[in-house]
Every structure is written in structure tokens, then in C-alpha cells.
Amino acid sequence: MNVIVCVKQIPDPAQPGELDPSDNTLKRDGKLILDESDSYGVEMALQLVGTAGGGEVSLVSMAPNGEVSGLRTALAMGAAKAVLVSDPELAGSDALTTAKVLAEASKRLGDADLIIAGTESSDGYTGTVPEQMAELLGLPSITFAKTVTVDGETLKVERQTEAGYDEVTSTLPAVVSVTAGVVEPRYPSFKGIMAAKSKPVDTVTAADLGVTPVGWAGAGQQIVDVASAPEREAGEVIEDEGEAHLKIVEFLDKLKVI
């Protein structure tokens, strides 16, 4: 079974995010890391291929620069190869353009049985790319998967819903978006990290894939204003010395909710 995982390299979420004042998009020029929400997809793909007893996990990713450190993390976990669409023209691309680029990039990897993506990235969180890719590729899709198994030619998924979860089956190939916490991503071993350095990363441009226009030119949207939101004022902060619960009761009493 061959599985493609869409991964995103994002600015380290531990660092405060910042908008570039020249074009109001998220600054992505520093060091990029593997989006944690994609590590679940990589892990799930590795497990599915392991269970199937054959095949491999491939990655597709896109970045406005040639950054590969996040991809190397996923390769070190056990993915076999990657296609990186690296192109300065991609800066400013919207979700639809991103989906077009990733759909075309995935075709370079040949026929896959399954394409896995995270539910939403941790930096842009538009959350539409997996479903858009599925439509572009003419495939069924199941979003918000919390378990994924393959039984012969049938995909079985438990899909989160507002009220609980649905059991969903699908034909293959298909696109699945997985939620965080579905599996425990493995830590790359030393051997894996060393091996990742020589795994193939096919670097292409958007034009190589035939997707034009991209970036600002392809985005049907433009940021016109960025403003600070009204601040919520912090109230009283007290240290608990054994009586803080009374203060809470008093507060609730004043609001007439008890």
C-alpha cells in the first residue's frame, strides 16, 4: 500500500507569530519545523503501510523557500521520499492554490492508495486544503478522522462529529484528514535521522507542475487592513491562601448565577 502524506513546514509555534508589514501575511522566513499536526498523519501512514506489509510513505510539501528541515524530520520518522514544491512565487498563495499545487505534486509520486493530511495547519488553519485536493483529484474524502484502518479494498474511518463520531467506509483511493492525538508520533531514531539525509527530495517549482498563476497573482483575495483587537482587561488576581473559593462564590453571587 502506498500512502502520500501532505506535510507543512511552519514557523516554530513556540515563537510569537508576526505579520510581514509589507504584505500582511504571516512571516515564514525564519527556521521552519514540521507542523506537529502533520506528524500524526506521518505516523498513521507508517502504521498503515506496516500493517499492509508492503509499499511506502511519500511526502508532498510546499514552501516559498527551499527549506527542508521539517521534511527531514518526517523522512527520519520513516517516510521514503518527498516532493517539495519550492518557489518564491508561492508566497501569498491562498488555500485553493495550495490545494492545486499539492494535488499536482502528488501526481508526481504515481498512484497512491491513500492521501493523508492534517485537519488544519497550526499557522494558517484554513482547514479546507484536504477536501479541495480530493475534489481536484476526483476522489472521495473523509475529514476529521480519529481512527483509520484498511480492510482489503475498503477504508474504514471513525470520523469526529459535533455529537460524537460516525463510522464511515470509503472506496480507495481516497483523501483523509486526521485530527491531532489519533496516534502517538514516533521519535526519529538516530539511524532514521542519518538515513533521512540521503533520502530523495524531488524539488520542483509551481511552473514545473503546470500550476499558474500562484502566490499573490493566483490568490483571489487581498488583505486590506490589520488592526489590533480590543483588549480584554485582566481583572483581579488573588493568591489562594485557603480562602480563595469564598471569593469565587462571592463573584458568582454578584453575577446572580447561583
Partner 1 sequence: MASNIWVFAQGADGAPTSATLELLAKARSLGDGVSAFVLGDAADIAAALGDHGATKVYATGDLGGSLPGAAVASAMKAVIDGGDTPDIIMFPQNYEGRDVVARLSVKLDKPVLTNNTEIEVDGDQVKVTTPVFGGTQLVTTTFTGGGPYLVAFRPKSFVAEAAGGGAPEVVEAPVPDLGATGGATVQAVHVEEHSGPKLDEANIVVSGGRGLGEAGKYEMIETLAKALKGAPGASRAIVDAGWVPYSYQVGQTGKVVKPAVYIAAGISGATQHMVGMKGSKNIIAINKDKEAPIFGVADLGVVGDVHKVLPKLIEALQAR
Question: Residues 61 to 100: which contact partner 1 by CB under 8 A?
Answer: 94-96, 99
Nearer to partner 1 by C-beta: 189 or 251?
Answer: 251
73 in Cβ contact with 189 (< 8 Å): no
Q: Which of 117, 112, 74 is nearest to 99 (CA)?
A: 117
Cα 184 to Cα 126: distance, rounded to the nearest angstrom: 24
Distance CA 253, CA 256 (A): 5
- Closest distance to partner 1 from the beta carbon of 32 (Å): 18
Cβ proximity to partner 1, 47 vs 203, nearer residue = 47
109 neighbors 60 (Cβ within 8 angstroms)? yes
5 interacts with partner 1 by CB under 8 A: no
Q: For residues 68 and 157, which CB has a smaller minimum distance to partner 1 in the complex?
A: 157
| Count of chain residues binding partner 1 (CB under 8 A) | 78
Residue 189 touches partner 1, criterion: CB under 8 A = no
22 sits near partner 1 (criterion: CB under 8 A) = no
Using the CB atoms, write b or e for 233-256: b if 16+ within 10 Å: eeeeeeeeeeeeeeeeeeeeeeee
Contact window for partner 1 (CB under 8 A) among 1-9, 65-73, 137-145, 192-200? 137-145
The answer to the question of residue 14 lying near partner 1 (CB under 8 A) is no
Distance from C-alpha of 38 to C-alpha of 9, rounded to nearest angstrom: 9
Letters for 227-246 (x = contact with partner 1 by CB under 8 A, - = none) are xxx--x-xxxxxxx-x-xxx
